[in-house]
Amino acid sequence: MTHMRTTLIGAGLSRPDAVDKVRGDAKYVDDLAFPGMLHGWVVRSPLPHAKVMHVDLASAFSHPDVSCLVTHEDVPGKNVVHVIYDDQPALACDVVRYVGEPVALIAATSRKVAKQAAEGMKITYEELPVVSDPVEALRSDSPVIVSLEAAAEGGGNLFNEMVLHKGDADAGFAQADVIIEGDYETGYQEHAYIETQGAIAVPEEGGGMAIYASMQCPFYVQRAVSVVLGLPMSKIRVIQATTGGAFGGKEDVPSQICSLAALMAWKTRRPVKLVLDRGEDVLTTSKRHPSRVHYRTGAMFDGTITAIDVDVILNAGAYQTLSSAVLWRSLCTAAGPYRIPNVRVNAKSVATNTVPNGAFRGFGSPQVIFPHEAQLDRLAEALNLDRANIRRRNVLVEGDRSSTEQLLDSSVGMADSLARATEMVEWNQRLEAIAAFNEQHRDIKRGLGISCVLYGVGLGGKAPFLDKAGATMKLEADGSVAVAVGTVEMGQGLTTSLLQIAAEELGVSIERIQLAPVDTSRVPDSGPTVASRGTMMSGLAVLDAARKLRERVEEVALGNGMDRSEIRQRWDEIANLFWLNNLDPAVEGWAKTEPVSWDPQTGLGDAYPVYAYACHIAEVEVDTVTGETDVIDFVAVHDSGRILNRTLATGQVQGGVAQGIGFALMEDIPQKDGFLMVNGLTTYRLPTIRDVVLDMGVDFIEAEFSAGPFGAKGLGEVPLMAAHAAVASAVSHAVGHQATKYPLEPCTVAELLRSA
């Protein structure tokens, strides 16, 4: 199916939610208040692993304005943070397993009082042996830290183990003329959303609970709160407040924050607000899983890859949360966007006494993208091939099969993205210019780096039951239209793309269509707002609803003697006819992806409904005296299918590239024996405007996906995935030695220079 280019699809419309945000009219959680509202504070474990010996309840009430104290004994339902596995207690009972684990809750008339009371509370602990390194945690003599036997599928501290076997890896290596082997390591990355985690729980008349929170997945929160309170889901109403950024950090964590707020509201029968401090947020909420990857690549002299063998270890932290979903993406992405006949991947997520890690833009993919790109650069060097050429030779094209044996029968824009990106930077000439520059400069060295990525859109074979979306649409009596979906706006621009889809299909102007606030009691479950699935899945549901409504409108118009060509002009009149004649003005739209058939035994099958692709090229300047790196030019080309809004898509790319530069060059949190060495954003280095390329080149290869809305796939996460690897490739090129560890901060670059 090809679509005609119309006025709305692809247009650079600005966001309808922008005005309120810029003016300060948007209401974030901390802007909201309810009569009689209390303020909550979490009493947290100061130790990475310990027995809780005694909680002095009286000490919490040292302050007269403290209204309530909650411990695990007060939990009316199940004492868990419900995500995938129920292994994480909402409030610790006998053992704490990471620094910052919630032990008790205090609600008071002000935040300050609650905090003071928490600081004065006496809890005695007995320290237990700590394991904070995932490789050590896998040893048979390691202390076992998991809470429930059932939580560790593999026994001991091994949370999950996943395998992928395609072809015959041994035979593939036997065929190879050259084999490259490397070890790679990445550390923590903090989401650093502008707004910290926060929620307000409000007891409702009739025995229910309303939750207002900053989040990505209201229906996850609804279930989690129902489990912890022991109430049916129908009694829990979750309302998404305007959300100040999420990046995956508000996928699983809000289930915890909202459960804690709900426990305090339940006990006091009063609204309770719980908003985290920045330092508290950085220390105690999920981050990107630190990783160790061992990667072997075999290739022929001409650069054709014959086999890969990859071992991935992710540090999951003390509880499972989303680690299995994160790990699964490492498994399915390890081969990159390349045609490789023989693949073996083994991926493990491991429990340690550190903060539980969760979703972060890209899930577990950047941890394997850095290695798969570094391996190709090393292969190119070993074979004396150009780095763009070796990619050209191996990238997936239509008709190929992915590493999971999935047939890629359409919408494969990888080769075109690579061609476009190399053309935009004039790859060969640029390399020559850099060589000439480096010839003339002793201390400053330039480098050019390249990366290619594929990204499965949606949740795919790991959670096919989540790859669906609902939408409702109602024609109002005046011809305006109300639309509701259960996915959320968190800065990525989903509201705008959904309005464009609805307006385009209905033929009504965007200004007359209103997207309802997300409230689980009123909007359909559209699945979680994750995995770059929002525009594709909710977009399909909105499109389905719009088609149904349009059909109904046509029927009424024709039934009233109008001509089809008049519908647009006489739209309001038709809407009024619906109202006058008591015709049903509401429709439901529904979207489901093609059933995926992925086999966990072999790791093979159709892992995702479709893939997005990208090629990034970065140019850097490295100061060989100080070890500092400056990104001086950047080009990003993406295939996310049809681009619905070029301005917003470009914004997603620019933001993702900034986050990728941060991951490659500066973002990290040192961790020692379970303690994170950071106190907030003062000691966590983030890229600023001085670290990004203001006039970076962004372009799109629109390999239309016929099953997507107007041909669209997903984009949201992909820019970060490709960016860090291009930067690492460029730094390695500049210093003449392959980087194997993030972040490439000055001391790491100095080591590389010494090795070169």
SS3 of residue 438 by DSSP: helix
Closest alpha carbon to 261 in 181, 190, 200, 313: 200
243 near ligand MOS, judged by CB under 6 A:
no
Angle at 631 between CA 386 and CA 313, to 5 degrees: 70
Query: Least distance to ligand MTE from the beta carbon of 718, Å?
Result: 9
Nearer CB in complex with ligand MTE: 361/552: 361
Structure tokens that stand for 80 in this block? 């868990």
716 near ligand MTE, judged by CB under 6 A:
yes
Of 16, 120, 156, 245, the residue at the interface with ligand MTE (CB under 6 A) is: 245
What's the distance, CA 345 to chain centroid?
22
717 near ligand MOS, judged by CB under 6 A:
yes
* Dihedrals phi, psi of 724, to nearest 5 degrees: -60, -35
What's the sign of the alpha-carbon dihedral 615, 621, 626, 628?
negative
Tell me which of ligand MOS, ligand MTE, none is bound by residue 363, counting a contact when its beta carbon lies within the kind-specific cut-off of 5 to 8 angstroms: ligand MOS
Q: Cis omega (within 30 of 0) on the bond before 743?
A: yes
Tell me which of ligand MTE, ligand MOS, none is bound by residue 38, counting a contact when its beta carbon lies within the kind-specific cut-off of 5 to 8 angstroms: none
Provide the 10 A C-beta neighbour count for residue 682. 10
Query: Least distance to ligand MOS from the beta carbon of 285, Å?
Result: 14
Q: Is 419 exposed, middle or buried (0-12, 13-18, 19+ CB in 10 A)?
A: middle
Of 343, 531, 649, 722, the residue at the interface with ligand MOS (CB under 6 A) is: 531
The DSSP symbol for 322 reads T
CB 350 within 8 A of CB 158: yes
Query: Least distance to ligand MOS from the beta carbon of 503, Å?
Result: 26
Closest alpha carbon to 731 in 640, 664, 641: 664
CB 116 within 8 A of CB 145: no
199 near ligand MTE, judged by CB under 6 A:
no
Nearer CB in complex with ligand MTE: 529/738: 529
Nearer CB in complex with ligand MTE: 585/641: 641
Query: Least distance to ligand MTE from the beta carbon of 532, Å?
Result: 4
Distance (Å, rounded) from C-alpha 18 to C-alpha 28? 14
Residues near 554 by beta carbon (within 8 Å), at least 6 away in sequence: 564, 567
**Residue in the block written with tokens 């810029």:** 22
660 near ligand MOS, judged by CB under 6 A:
no
Distance (Å, rounded) from C-alpha 648 to C-alpha 636? 15
Helix (H) or strand (E) holding 240: strand 236-240
CB 204 within 8 A of CB 237: yes
- The DSSP bridge partners found for residue 741 are 185
Closest alpha carbon to 149 in 158, 137, 161, 141: 158
Query: Least distance to ligand MTE from the beta carbon of 193, Å?
Result: 6
Of 8, 66, 162, 246, the residue at the interface with ligand MTE (CB under 6 A) is: 246
453 near ligand MOS, judged by CB under 6 A:
no
The DSSP symbol for 471 reads E
Of 40, 358, 714, 743, the residue at the interface with ligand MTE (CB under 6 A) is: 714
281 near ligand MTE, judged by CB under 6 A:
no
Nearer CB in complex with ligand MTE: 291/492: 492
Query: Least distance to ligand MTE from the beta carbon of 196, Å?
Result: 13
Nearer CB in complex with ligand MTE: 159/363: 363
279 near ligand MTE, judged by CB under 6 A:
no
Nearer CB in complex with ligand MTE: 100/719: 719
Query: Footprint of ligand MOS on residues 82-141 (CB under 6 A)?
Result: none
Binding range to ligand MTE, per CB under 6 A, among 117-125, 245-253, 509-517, 549-557: 245-253
Of 213, 717, 725, 744, the residue at the interface with ligand MTE (CB under 6 A) is: 717
530 near ligand MOS, judged by CB under 6 A:
yes
Distance (Å, rounded) from C-alpha 703 to C-alpha 686? 34
Residues in contact with ligand MOS, counted by CB under 6 A, come to a total of 10
Nearer CB in complex with ligand MTE: 356/366: 366
Nearer CB in complex with ligand MOS: 325/615: 325
530 near ligand MTE, judged by CB under 6 A:
yes
Provide the 10 A C-beta neighbour count for residue 163. 14
- The alpha helices in 94-133, defined as continuous H runs, are 111-120
535 near ligand MTE, judged by CB under 6 A:
yes
Provide the 10 A C-beta neighbour count for residue 90. 25
Closest alpha carbon to 394 in 415, 409, 368, 422: 415
Binding to ligand MTE by CB under 6 A, coded x per residue (else -) over 130-169, reads ----------------------------------------
* 3-state secondary structure labels for all residues of 530-563: CCCCHHHHHHHHHHHHHHHHHHHHHHHHHHCCCC
Tell me which of ligand MTE, ligand MOS, none is bound by residue 655, counting a contact when its beta carbon lies within the kind-specific cut-off of 5 to 8 angstroms: ligand MTE
Query: Footprint of ligand MOS on residues 333-392 (CB under 6 A)?
Result: 359-361, 363
- The alpha helices in 247-399, defined as continuous H runs, are 253-268, 278-284, 323-333, 366-383, 387-394
116 near ligand MTE, judged by CB under 6 A:
no
Binding range to ligand MTE, per CB under 6 A, among 265-273, 513-521, 574-582, 710-718: 710-718
Query: Least distance to ligand MTE from the beta carbon of 494, Å?
Result: 4
- The DSSP bridge partners found for residue 274 are 199
Nearer CB in complex with ligand MOS: 585/656: 656
Distance (Å, rounded) from C-alpha 278 to C-alpha 696? 31
251 near ligand MOS, judged by CB under 6 A:
yes
Pairing of strands 675-676, 305-317: unpaired
216 near ligand MOS, judged by CB under 6 A:
yes
Distance (Å, rounded) from C-alpha 443 to C-alpha 693? 22
Nearer CB in complex with ligand MTE: 166/468: 468
Binding range to ligand MTE, per CB under 6 A, among 402-410, 527-535, 558-566, 679-687: 527-535
Give the HSE-up count for residue 438: Cα atoms under 13 Å, Cβ half-sphere.
20
448 near ligand MTE, judged by CB under 6 A:
no
Residues present in the chain in total: 756
Nearer CB in complex with ligand MOS: 614/734: 614
Tell me which of ligand MTE, ligand MOS, none is bound by residue 492, counting a contact when its beta carbon lies within the kind-specific cut-off of 5 to 8 angstroms: ligand MTE
Binding to ligand MOS by CB under 6 A, coded x per residue (else -) over 482-521, reads ----------------------------------------
Query: Least distance to ligand MTE from the beta carbon of 360, Å?
Result: 7
Tell me which of ligand MTE, ligand MOS, none is bound by residue 515, counting a contact when its beta carbon lies within the kind-specific cut-off of 5 to 8 angstroms: none
705 near ligand MTE, judged by CB under 6 A:
no
Distance (Å, rounded) from C-alpha 286 to C-alpha 106? 22
Closest alpha carbon to 85 in 160, 156, 144, 135: 160
10 near ligand MTE, judged by CB under 6 A:
no
Closest alpha carbon to 509 in 564, 419, 571, 416: 571
Distance (Å, rounded) from C-alpha 214 to C-alpha 197? 6
CB 714 within 8 A of CB 612: yes
SS3 of residue 672 by DSSP: strand
Binding to ligand MTE by CB under 6 A, coded x per residue (else -) over 480-519, reads ----------xxx-x-------------------------
Nearer CB in complex with ligand MOS: 273/361: 361
531 near ligand MTE, judged by CB under 6 A:
yes
655 near ligand MTE, judged by CB under 6 A:
yes
Residues near ligand MTE (CB under 6 A) are 245-248, 361, 490-492, 494, 529-535, 652, 655, 714, 716-717
Residues near ligand MOS (CB under 6 A) are 216, 248, 251, 359-361, 363, 530-531, 717
